[in-house]
Structure 1
Amino acid sequence: MTEPIVYRLDAEDVIRSDDGNLPFVEVSTCLATDMTANLEETYDEDLEKAAFSDGFSCRVLRPGQKQWLSGKVRFFLEIELDPDQAEEITNPEGSNSTLDELRKLAGE
């Protein structure tokens, strides 16, 4: 089984739900920045700053690790592509991969 392809969404990416309204924004289509802004408005300023920009200081213990990892937790939006979409992105019809293009250039 292949790992899913996950992209962190940029502010100007458009998000659409074909199954009704998106959570937090109550519309079916919006920019990623609109969803983030609506989430930020829902909570007070301190939580907003900590969750979306500065991050929460914390420690994490991962399975199999013997010591705690220190860092920050931040919220962001991402999309995990449906398997059929992921295949289209990784193997677009009729296009060469960047590696193929480099090989061509090296052979010239």
Structure 2
Amino acid sequence: MNDNFKNLEHEDVITVYSGQIFVSSRTFTVDEFIAAMMQATKKQIGELTDGKEDWFGEGLDCKILKPGAKSWQRGKVRLTLEFTPENLDVVDANEANGLPQSKIDSPLDDIRQKMHSGNQPNNS
């Protein structure tokens, strides 16, 4: 099981590449996805009462029993979307060439130096 998943925020934007989704577009916000899930749920089970709607919001009061636990634990349960990034070893091209990022000259360094000293670059 991958424990690197993190809950997404309501305004986060997602684009999926394939798979069955609840929204008409492959790009959507978490809020749009949850609203579409609620609509699909309404079609399946009828009107969402407060108890059914809580699956998508505040959560439902519950208790869980985890394997190896001595007793039930009280709390809330709800549906969320989670994301985990791919583990890509992305290295800055300069660092890959053995140059630390702080030692690299930028073509903009000269312009920045002039701006800090009060001299404006000549645009002609």
TM-score range, shorter chain: 0.5 to 0.7
Gaps of 5+ in 2: 96-100, 102-124
Distance 1:34 1:53 in 2: 13
Report the CA distance shift for 1:66/1:4 in structure 2 as closer, same or farther (over 3 A): closer
- Which structure has greater strand proportion? 1
Distance 1:5 1:13 in 2: 17
Q: Per-residue deviation at 1:40?
A: 1.7
Other structure's SS at 1:10 match = coil
Residue 45 of structure 1 pairs with residue 48 of structure 2: yes
- Which structure has greater helix proportion? 1
Flag the structure with larger Rg.
2
Partners of 1:22 and 1:28 within 8 A in 2: no
Q: Aligned residues: percent identity? A: 28
1:50-89 to 2 correspondences below 5 Å: 50-84=54-88
Gaps of 5+ in 1: 96-108
TM-score of the aligned structures, taking structure 1 as reference length? 0.65
Specify which structure has the bigger relative contact order, considering alpha-carbon pairs within 8 angstroms and separated by 6 or more residues. Answer: 1
- Superposed CA RMSD in Å reads 2.4
Runs of 4+ with >4 A deviation: 92-95
What number of residue pairs does the alignment pair up? 86
